[in-house]
């Protein structure tokens, strides 16, 4: 058996294994999708079953989701989109600048700042909730978009990732930009930032997922029903007196779609950013 033939056999085994794992991971989402098309009463009576009556499947639950509960679900969706987009954009902008500065420039206290970043990475978020809540009250950020967005815009994980990625950037381009008369901000935005697109792609997906699925902090900050985000709104459908499956399952399916679209569009940059940024530096 030649080495090339062995490589082909090994590749086939790997692909088949990954296919089985992928199918196994998709089974829960498949049943979630099927359950969203079934009447909620049937879900309560029979639970999750491998016997599916396709003739009983319809889109009535999705129509009820949009029109029911005073049309509040679209508001939850819009709130989540606004918060996720704003949080992701601001987070990528600020953390990339901080990480770039720690990687490229030499200044007094640089190592101390980076050490503080590493220390903050080790602090559980739950410890920070009480002081952050008091701060949000003092500056009147309760029940607002900014109250959800601002406290976690600059995260140490993103700073660390961008710093590691920026350390692999060629310094010759930095010197060339300075020779051409470019300022530091112009060098960053027009020369270095395009080289960091894989890092932006990777962190963009991770930050968007984190913001989209965030539950504890928005639950503490947001008060009004029409200001709730999707995770909190869907949680409100689960009560001690019964779960509204007619709205819960289609709402959960719809909540997954934006992240799936984001990953499909940005998957090449995501994979490239994680591999390159994790190896170099």
Ranges of each domain in the chain: 70-279
Lowest-confidence segment of 43-47, 87-91, 107-111, 118-122 by average pLDDT: 43-47
* pLDDT band at 133; cut points 50, 70, 90: very high
Which residues, at least 6 apart from 15, have a Cβ–Cβ distance to it below 8 Å?
Answer: none
- Asked whether the predicted pLDDT for residue 166 surpasses 80, the reply is yes
- What is the pTM assigned to this prediction? 0.84
Q: How many CB atoms lie within 10 A of CB 66?
A: 13
Q: Which fold, 70-279? A: MetI-like fold (1.10.3720)
Q: With bands split at pLDDT 50, 70 and 90, how would you rate the model's confidence at 263?
A: confident
């Amino acid at each position: 058996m030649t080495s090339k033939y062995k490589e082909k056999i090994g590749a086939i085994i790997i692909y088949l294994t990954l296919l089985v794992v992928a199918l196994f991971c998709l089974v829960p989402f498949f049943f979630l999708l099927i359950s969203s098309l079934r009447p909620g009463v049937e879900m309560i009576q029979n639970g999750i079953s491998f016997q599916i009556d396709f003739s009983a499947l319809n889109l009535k639950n999705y129509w009820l989701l949009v029109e029911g509960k005073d049309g509040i679900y679209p508001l939850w969706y819009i709130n989540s989109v606004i918060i996720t987009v704003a949080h992701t954009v601001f987070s990528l902008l600020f953390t990339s600048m901080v990480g770039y500065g720690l990687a490229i420039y030499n200044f007094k206290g640089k190592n101390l700042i980076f050490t503080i970043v590493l220390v903050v990475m080790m602090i559980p978020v739950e410890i920070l909730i009480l002081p952050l809540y008091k701060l949000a009250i003092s500056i009147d950020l309760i029940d607002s978009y900014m109250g959800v967005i601002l406290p976690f815009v600059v995260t140490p994980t993103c700073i660390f990732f961008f710093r590691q990625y920026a350390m692999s950037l060629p310094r010759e381009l930095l010197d060339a930009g300075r020779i051409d008369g470019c300022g530091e901000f112009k060098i960053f935005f027009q020369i270095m930032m395009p080289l960091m697109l894989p890092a932006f792609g990777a962190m963009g997906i991770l930050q968007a997922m984190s913001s989209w699925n965030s539950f504890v902090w928005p639950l503490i900050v947001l008060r009004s029903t029409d200001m709730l985000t999707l995770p909190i709104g869907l949680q409100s459908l689960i009560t001690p007196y019964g779960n509204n499956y007619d709205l819960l399952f289609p709402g959960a399916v719809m909540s997954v779609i934006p992240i799936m679209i984001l990953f499909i569009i940005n998957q090449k940059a995501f994979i490239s950013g994680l591999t390159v940024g994790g190896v170099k530096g």
